[in-house]
Structure 1
Amino acid sequence: MTSSRRLFLSIFGSVGLLSAALLVACSGNKPGPDTVAVVDGEKISVDAFERSILLMPRFDPRRKGLPAIRQHLESLIENKLLSEYAESEGLDKDPRIQKRKAWIRDNAMVEQLFKELVVKKVQVTDEELRKAFVKYNTKIHARHIFAKTENEAEEIYEALQNGADWDSLAAQTFGDSVLAANGGDLGWFTFGEMDPDFEAACYSLPVGQISRPVHTRFGWHIIRVEDKKVNPILTESDFAKNYKKLERIVRSRKENALANAYVSRLMTPLRVTLKGKAFAFLVHKAQKYFGKPDQQRRFPKPVFRDEQVLSFAESLEPYRNEVLVEYRGGQWTIGDFLDRLEAMPPAERPRLNSPGSLRRGIKFMIRDAFLAKEARKRGLQNHPYVRSEVNLWYEDTMARLVKKQIADTIRVTEEEIRQYFQAHPEKYGQPEKVKIREILAGDSTTAVQLLARVKAGENFAKLARRYSKRAWAAKRGGEFPFFARGSYGKIGLLAFQHKVGDWVGPVKVRGGYSIFQVTGHRDPYLPPMDDELHQRVERDLRALKFKAAYGKLVRQLKAASKIVVADSTFRRVAEEVGGKDFEFMVVRKIKGP
């Protein structure tokens, strides 16, 4: 038995949570200024740390500021430790891990290619932003009629010119019931909210005029502008306030145009052809296996899990050599497609049983394969960004596999479920509760005097309204609602130590001196444990055991490892990251037709 296996088998039965992040002021073997931490000789670079927290934050959303960023760093450290442990357990040997790793690498290479060929070349001028600002202050109300082909769009345009009714044509052409019913009404919009080509046509059209067919990435459109609202007063302060938003919109559009042009130059000579017969066969098999798509359910998009894809691929084993795609100099068979599909993360996969989604998915898979090939020609597989992205994904994946291994080993007995259920009425039923009435006096002398007066028979509620410093209770004549253990600090603790009718105090608390009487008590109540409640208790108990086991494993791995964190670098980076615009820190891939 390996030492790591013995370590894993020894982690159960302990309680405790994860320790606080290990942050030390480094002396000796001090990390460089580009390094936040070193875990067993493996660096966590400043660049990787910043990118990971902006793109995939690993902290409790209830935490803010430095504690949240500190928790993120600890998570990265834990992932490195768990990754080493997973390798010692052989969890990295699964062929699916290697396939997914290759996909992640290709994806990161395409992102880096986008940066080098597009992002670095795009410049946004002040003149472009001021023109955009004018459009941004013009709101447009428009309708459109959609057509899939240019010929169809020309026929619709000609019909409208010859007096055809707009609403009738819209009802005939739209598959969307809402747009069919409202005549393609898009409501009001402004700059940056529509497809750039569609938007440009709207801004150039006079109110009431019908456009000639306009081509966008979605298809063809006939547009009618219903109205325009122009803000006549444009100020420098408004321009400055909207500068970042306008710059993002203009930059994104220029980047997309440049990327589309590059993809077009790359892909057009390849003459990619989807083989109709093989494609129809693939759709037929997918619909037979997964069922026909729910036309009413567009969101959330159904996700095809790894097990489903593997099983589907096995059912198509006799047809793997059928040619699905041809291009100049090569081809993809159904088997090639299925292998690439298996490598993709589930959320990235097309809907296999939807012809439209599958067609687009194959198109993008082909595109990305050739973009990755171009990136590899430039040696981008060795770029620091690519290597960092692959490492972050790999360590995150290995950590999830270790967590799954722990979860699969957790065992819960019926007796443990029964005991946990009975010990936690506050979670599954009604906990024990008490009720009090209280007067909070400003000083001890007044509190003693008031206690004597109420014991002598004076009206408690009147005295509470007159003298109590606890305003909300004073309004209620000093009455507290029933409360459970853990409420109201010291007086709550004392209330549970006394019987109904007992007087307590004076007790020094924040704000003064409390005197109170216990006026009610409710025993804890647990409902009968039905199947649903049994499952909930078992789930909670498993989560508790997992937390203890996982925490112990992490502590043992930390104790056996050398972890050095450059505290000054961490704090500097934390300040920089905390000031960045989280909402728009996203990395895009090259997209194209």
Structure 2
Amino acid sequence: MFSVAKRNKVLSKRLVLISLLMMFIVIFNNCSTQSDEVLAKVGNHKITSDEFIKRYTDYIVVSGINDNLRARIAILNNMVSEILLKEYDDNSSVYNNEEYKVEKEWTRKQALLAYLKDKEAYAGIKVTEADLRKAFVKANQRIEARHLYAKTKEEADELYSLLQAGADFNLLARQVFTDSTLKYNGGYLGYFSWGDMDPVFEDTAFALPVGGISKPVNTSQGYSIIKVEDKEYNPILTEYDYLNKKSHIERMLKLREKKPAERKFLENIYNKDEFSIYDDGLKEALDFLYQSNLKSEADLKYDNKLCAQYRNRKMFVSDLLTKINNTPNYHKEKIADLNSLRIAAEGFIVQDIMMEIAENNKYEKEYEFKDKYTQMINNLYLKYKKNDIAQKAVVSDSALKKFYNENIDFFYTDNQINVQEIIVKDKSFAEQLVQRIKTGEDFGKLAQQYSIRTWTAANNGEIGFAPFHKFGIFQSTFWDAQVGAIIGPHKFDDYYGIFKILGKRERELFDFGSIKDEVSHFYRENNQSELLFQHIEKLHKQVEVLIDTEAVRLLNIELLNSI
């Protein structure tokens, strides 16, 4: 109902109350059989020193803060709050939430795939003493550089050839960059240190002499040609400094090797050359997904064509739609065109191959996996619980009215457009149709006769009024055009579209009374953290909580001495 773009904007920009409860959450076992010291009692549940130490040390490692009593008490209070929420509150609406169930199963798969990569890909990463000392030297250098960027190797090779022929670096930067800063400063990046940039980019830059220009290098973002302007060195490097930073450098080196190790692992289990994609099937699936945004799925049908195949694995439209349906909404929303659907289909097949390996190796039964999975499910539960509490909280009408007035721009309808379309595969034929329309032939009859999108063709090509953001890359073009205008042919995916603007509706402000429920929902999304703490305070009043602050203060956490 509301403008989706603006609604997302306000959600991303709002000031979130920072809650330690939602940060660095690690497994919590509510019943301890250990004989270690009890630090807190929550009703009939206990928090032992062993449980606390595990949680607290993980927090210290991730956050990088120094051990202190205030942090200890904060983490212990988090653990208390989790017990209150999980053991002394009604969680039926969370556990029965269909999206929660989908995301829980997705989380299980992701946890198992991550564990598989830990065992099969990352375990073999080795860092030698020589590697560590080279990295230590790099970590004490700063490099000043500039670069030229290209999306493809062909473009990068052409740029490199121009440089070799004497072309000016600054002039080429003006041609390749859209970012105004890089465009007019010659692609200047300033000074950077080891660990600041893409590993491939860094390794190339460190290997170049001052004034040197690299050949095109393939980074995670595309292709770069690097020119080193200057290098600064720390003139005094001691063995003490090296030993002090050795463990950190080792972690950094292993982290940098994860991507190559993962790539090698995937190459061993999956041969991309044996993967086949069938666009007819994908287009059928995409058409179904597109229609489901505009009408009920119960009214939709599709031909169950083949979408993809890898060796003896076949994925039909029904298989692909089922997998998409079992994907969390935040991933599902990314599948918006034929290219993203191709990527998704291949990704699902690779995921199936990896899941089979993990299941055959019985990784799901190993303690380390169970421990990590429990952490992830606990995080997931708390995410949904936070939202559930916010939606059930009692909020006064005056608070809602104030929120409505302060955010009035977000309570308008979307601009809406009604469009007629003709979709064909051949560009020259599309151009012929445009000429026939211009000479007076009826758009609707041509749509009925030639458009390959059957559900709109049956309606003379008319889509019906829909929010303009539903039209993706064409939304601005359609909205800026006059009613009656013929647009196209425009290429999208492997099709050519001709469009006629039938009507437009300007956005309208909803009266507060007519959308009070929506305002309430929006308010709760923006105030989740505050409402969560209010709810926890109520639970504190219902359940006896005892914390031994002195025991927490005196607790000797030996593991922290080695961090």
TM-score, structure 1 length as denominator?
Answer: 0.54
Structure 1 gaps of 5+ residues are 1-27, 290-308, 419-529, 582-593
Amino acid at match of 1:575: I
Contact kept? 1:149, 1:220, Cα under 8 Å: yes
Contact kept? 1:138, 1:190, Cα under 8 Å: yes
Give deviations 1:343-394, integer Å, cap 9, x for gaps: 4455556633477777666655554443333222211222223333444444
Contact kept? 1:113, 1:375, Cα under 8 Å: yes
Contact kept? 2:209, 2:228, Cα under 8 Å: yes
Indicate the residue corresponding to 1:164 in structure 2.
167
Task: Identify which of 133, 147, 152 aligns with 1:130.
Answer: 133
Contact kept? 2:122, 2:262, Cα under 8 Å: no
Indicate the residue corresponding to 1:318 in structure 2.
301
Alpha-carbon distance in 1 for matches of 2:39, 2:532: 30
Indicate the residue corresponding to 2:357 in structure 1.
374
Alpha-carbon distance in 2 for matches of 1:548, 1:196: 45
Alpha-carbon distance in 2 for matches of 1:227, 1:213: 20
SS of residue in 2 equivalent to 1:115 = helix
Indicate the residue corresponding to 2:224 in structure 1.
221
Task: Identify which of 70, 73, 78 aligns with 1:64.
Answer: 70
Deviation at 1:107, TM superposition (A): 1.3
Residue 272 in structure 1 maps to residue 272 in structure 2: no
User: What does residue range 482-561 of structure 1 map to in structure 2 within 5 Å?
Assistant: 551-552=537-538
SS of residue in 1 equivalent to 2:250 = helix
1:178–1:404 distance in 2 versus 1, CA, 3 Å:
closer
Deviation at 1:77, TM superposition (A): 2.0
1:395–1:169 distance in 2 versus 1, CA, 3 Å:
closer
User: What does residue range 422-501 of structure 1 map to in structure 2 within 5 Å?
Assistant: none
Alpha-carbon distance in 1 for matches of 2:313, 2:340: 24
Alpha-carbon distance in 2 for matches of 1:543, 1:203: 45
Task: Identify which of 253, 257, 274 aligns with 1:254.
Answer: 257
Indicate the residue corresponding to 1:188 in structure 2.
191
SS of residue in 2 equivalent to 1:80 = helix
Amino acid at match of 1:124: V
SS of residue in 1 equivalent to 2:148 = strand
Alpha-carbon distance in 2 for matches of 1:81, 1:237: 50
Give deviations 1:47-78, integer Å, cap 9, x for gaps: 97468757999xxxx99322112112213323
Indicate the residue corresponding to 1:97 in structure 2.
100
Contact kept? 2:210, 2:230, Cα under 8 Å: yes
1:207–1:52 distance in 2 versus 1, CA, 3 Å:
closer
Deviation at 1:269, TM superposition (A): 5.8
Residue 77 in structure 1 maps to residue 77 in structure 2: no
SS of residue in 2 equivalent to 1:64 = helix
Alpha-carbon distance in 1 for matches of 2:531, 2:223: 58
Structure showing greater radius of gyration is: 1
Give deviations 1:255-289, integer Å, cap 9, x for gaps: 33222211221222673345456667877888x79
SS of residue in 1 equivalent to 2:195 = coil
Give deviations 1:544-583, integer Å, cap 9, x for gaps: 9986765555665x57xxx9999999889883576686xx
Aligned residues: 409
Give deviations 1:451-505, integer Å, cap 9, x for gaps: xxxxxxxxxxxxxxxxxxxxxxxxxxxxxxxxxxxxxxxxxxxxxxxxxxxxxxx
Deviation at 1:42, TM superposition (A): 11
Alpha-carbon distance in 1 for matches of 2:198, 2:527: 51
SS of residue in 2 equivalent to 1:370 = helix
Contact kept? 2:386, 2:528, Cα under 8 Å: no
Give deviations 1:99-150, integer Å, cap 9, x for gaps: 2221111111122223323444333232211111222233222232233333
Contact kept? 1:108, 1:389, Cα under 8 Å: yes
Deviation at 1:341, TM superposition (A): 4.4
Alpha-carbon distance in 2 for matches of 1:543, 1:214: 45
Alpha-carbon distance in 1 for matches of 2:374, 2:107: 10
Alpha-carbon distance in 2 for matches of 1:315, 1:187: 57
Contact kept? 1:82, 1:395, Cα under 8 Å: no
1:38–1:124 distance in 2 versus 1, CA, 3 Å:
farther
SS of residue in 1 equivalent to 2:271 = helix
Amino acid at match of 2:364: Q
Amino acid at match of 2:197: M
SS of residue in 2 equivalent to 1:248 = helix
Indicate the residue corresponding to 1:18 in structure 2.
none
Indicate the residue corresponding to 2:144 in structure 1.
141
Contact kept? 1:69, 1:574, Cα under 8 Å: no
Give deviations 1:164-200, integer Å, cap 9, x for gaps: 3333433333344443333332222222222232222
1:34–1:414 distance in 2 versus 1, CA, 3 Å:
closer
SS of residue in 2 equivalent to 1:141 = strand
1:151–1:75 distance in 2 versus 1, CA, 3 Å:
same
1:99–1:220 distance in 2 versus 1, CA, 3 Å:
same
Contact kept? 1:350, 1:358, Cα under 8 Å: no
Task: Identify which of 561, 564, 575 aligns with 2:557.
Answer: 575
Indicate the residue corresponding to 1:384 in structure 2.
367
Alpha-carbon distance in 2 for matches of 1:187, 1:285: 49
Q: Which has the higher contact order (CA 8 A, sep 6+)?
A: 1
User: What does residue range 5-84 of structure 1 map to in structure 2 within 5 Å?
Assistant: 30-31=33-34, 46=51, 49=55, 53=59, 64-81=70-87
Contact kept? 2:152, 2:223, Cα under 8 Å: yes
Alpha-carbon distance in 1 for matches of 2:97, 2:318: 20
SS of residue in 1 equivalent to 2:210 = coil
Deviation at 1:212, TM superposition (A): 2.5
